[in-house]
Amino acid sequence: MKKLLCLIGHPVKHSVSPSMHNKAFETLKMNYVYLSFDVYPGNLDDAVKGLKAIDVRGFNVTIPYKEEVIGYLDHVDLIARRVGAVNTVVNSSNSLIGYNTDVEGVETTLRLNSIKLYDEEIVVLGAGGAARAAVFTFLSHSPRRVTIINRTFEKAKEVAREFNPEICRPEPLTRKSIQESLKNAYLLVNATPVGMKPGEDASLIGKDLLNPDLTVFDMIYNPLKTKLLSYAEEIGAKTVNGVDMLVGQGAASFKLWTGVNPPFKLMRKTVLEELKTSGQFEGES
Ligand code: NAP
């Protein structure tokens, strides 16, 4: 009998995670199958209890449940607790253990794109779960400053206070704060859904605020080239999309569930093929 893995979230209809994992399982001839389940608001408790009752090997959690799911788990590892969000759960002898592999997704992105953060200034747009995973990861690289710009200023303040108030500086989402923060920045990160399909014509930052010395990392992978990345490319800045992060977090989850080294290149190729062929949708990991 195949062991079950799955994704829970809302919506999950267009997720590329099932293709990414199932291709890896088929190729390595592993006895697992990965499905996705749309869990409607109010049903998370029942969904997690059900998954435990049927003894799944594990599951991924995506928007909007990465924080809420913590309340239904038996243990949460230190990094996930620090980040305040769980995207991967392992069922170990009927005990549900939560992890955050988005942190490894960000780390993978830095490594594959030769992004070195020591003594550099970083600007992060957003203060949600993905931004928190990014700030957590960036701080381990000893940057000079991490500016967190968020629409709800209070949340930016909270992240800065919680992670490292000496290095992190919260800012409200205004043209002036963006302009000031980007002056000496090396890395700009979009950790908001602004620019994601079907809203691909939007960007929180206009072309006039970017400069060629910047590296721009947009966590969005659908579309592969967001408006923000198009602007960055046009002015000659380095651009990085969300694919390496998506595959990095997926590969780390794969290893946690199976103990087997993930076929990273195959998973990345599968994701790119899927995104290029399926085209027009709004998707989550
Ligand atoms: P989240 O927890 O819901 O946080 C969303 C953040 O975006 C919040 O800071 C929110 O600001 C801000 N935001 C939302 N709509 C906005 C708007 N119209 N204008 C300005 N700010 C806006 O979501 P998340 O989990 O952090 O995910 C954020 C993005 O990262 C998504 O696009 C997701 O697809 C992407 N992501 C990618 C990967 C990957 O593997 N590549 C992994 C995780 C996430 P407020 O606080 O004001 O609401």
Rounded Cα gap, residues 174 and 81, in angstroms: 31
Ligand 1 closest atom vs CA 242: 41
| Centroid of chain to Cα 133 | 8
pLDDT reported for residue 252: 98
Assess contact for 99 and 79: CB atoms under 8 A. yes
Query: Residue 283: which pLDDT band, with cuts at 50, 70 and 90?
Result: very low
Catalytic residue (one of 23, 49, 52, 66)? 66
Distance 27 CA to ligand 1 centre (A): 33
Distance 220 CA to ligand 1 centre (A): 9
For 28-50, write each residue's pLDDT tens digit: 999 999 999 999 999 999 999 99
pLDDT reported for residue 277: 85
**C-alpha closest to that of 273 among 204, 214, 221, 238:** 221
Catalytic residue list contains 66: yes
**C-alpha closest to that of 253 among 32, 29, 13, 10:** 32
pLDDT at 284 over 70: no
For 160-211, write each residue's pLDDT tens digit: 999 999 999 999 999 999 999 999 999 999 999 999 999 999 999 999 999 9
pLDDT at 282 over 50: no
Percent of the chain with pLDDT over 70: 98
Query: Residue 13: which pLDDT band, with cuts at 50, 70 and 90?
Result: confident
